[in-house]
Amino acid sequence: MRLVGLTGGIASGKSTVSGLFKSAGVPVVDADVVARNVVQKGTGGWKKIVKAFGNGILLENGEIDRAQLGQIVFSDPEKRKLLNRLLAPHISCGIFWEILKLWVKGCLVIVVDIPLLFETKMDRWTDPVVVVWVDPKTQIERLMSRDGCGQEQAQSRIDAQLALDWKKSEADIVIDNSGSLDDTKEQFQEVLKQVSGPLTWKESMMSRDGLLSIVVCTAAGVLLAQKNLL
Ligand SMILES: CC(C)(COP(=O)(O)OP(=O)(O)OC[C@H]1O[C@@H](n2cnc3c(N)ncnc32)[C@H](O)[C@@H]1O)[C@@H](O)C(=O)NCCC(=O)NCCS
Ligand SMILES: Nc1ncnc2c1ncn2[C@@H]1O[C@H](COP(=O)(O)OP(=O)(O)OP(=O)(O)O)[C@@H](O)[C@H]1O
């Protein structure tokens, strides 16, 4: 099995590219979706947030007030570290679970879209790593326009992550999403060829069917050895 890490900066275009992977039939695990699920009302993540940030962080319906929590953690690095520390085990567990479900189905190539792939050192588990890069001016403009926030707020969200240029330097594959959507789609076709190329021997062995054949061969070997047929 091949685990492709998809990352970038905030509003650099990860969801846009993961949408292209989905349209091409490649399954995607979205860490933002997992991160939302693990803080739903009553879950372990929800309880930890309420304990750490108080009842004031809840909306009337008991769900986490994400806008308020975002304002707190993106303007206070210590609070952000606290939130990250509280949620990290829930998020990694949730991601692992989603990957396992796809592995059981026999998927050979899985894309994991994780904004904080490098920050959480999860890049150790993914190969190749695809970084969606965008030039700084376009990034802040798209972020402000998508989230309807001001320049200062947008900048504090960008600064909450490792520098996008550094991520680019660590990437196996870079998609430059500074241009038009068509431009990105064109680059994506090349990336798709690269990530869905033939699996290495190790990747094949890590797949469901690869592991199954190891188990069957080992069992057959043991059986034959017991009957002195080897
Ligand atoms: C701070 C929260 C409440 C803001 O919620 P909101 O709905 O406004 O944003 P959303 O979750 O859609 O995230 C938008 C983007 O913000 C960036 N981001 C989110 N959390 C963080 C973080 N802790 N540090 C840096 N950047 C982050 C990512 O690029 C993400 O794609 C929320 O992002 C959160 O709970 N974050 C902690 C969980 C986490 O680490 N998520 C990232 C998945 S690896
Ligand atoms: N090539 C493009 N041309 C114009 N707009 C784009 C392009 N790519 C993405 N966008 C827009 O930029 C915004 C950010 O893109 P997207 O949501 O894909 O980023 P993201 O990296 O997934 O963000 P986040 O880290 O917040 O999850 C969106 O409003 C999207 O529609």
**What is the per-residue pLDDT for 8?**
98
**What is the per-residue pLDDT for 83?**
98
Round to whole Å and give the CA distance between 114 and 101: 18
Q: Which ligand is nearest to the CA of 180?
A: 2
**What is the per-residue pLDDT for 230?**
65
Under 8 Å between Cβ of 188 and 23: no
**What is the per-residue pLDDT for 13?**
98
Round to whole Å and give the CA distance between 79 and 101: 33
- Residue segments in the chain with a per-residue pLDDT below the cut of 50: none
**What is the per-residue pLDDT for 224?**
87
Q: Is the ipTM value over 0.90, yes or no?
A: yes
**What is the per-residue pLDDT for 174?**
98
Mean of per-residue pLDDT scores for the chain? 96
Pocket residue to mutate for ligand 2, from 16, 132, 145, most atoms within 8 A of Cβ: 16
Instruction: For ligand 2, say whether the CB of 146 is within 6 Å of any of its atoms.
Output: yes
Under 8 Å between Cβ of 164 and 133: yes
Residue 144 tokens read as 């402000």
CA 171 to ligand 2 centroid distance, Å: 19
**What is the per-residue pLDDT for 169?**
98
Half-sphere exposure of 9 (CA within 13 A, CB side): 29
pTM of the model: 0.94
CATH code of 1-27+107-197, in short, is 3.40.50.300
All structural domains of the chain with their residue ranges: 1-27+107-197, 38-106, 202-230
Nearest CA to ligand 2 atom 15: 13
Instruction: For ligand 1, say whether the CB of 112 is within 6 Å of any of its atoms.
Output: no
- Sequence-separated (6 or more) residues with CB below 8 Å from residue 148: none
**What is the per-residue pLDDT for 129?**
98
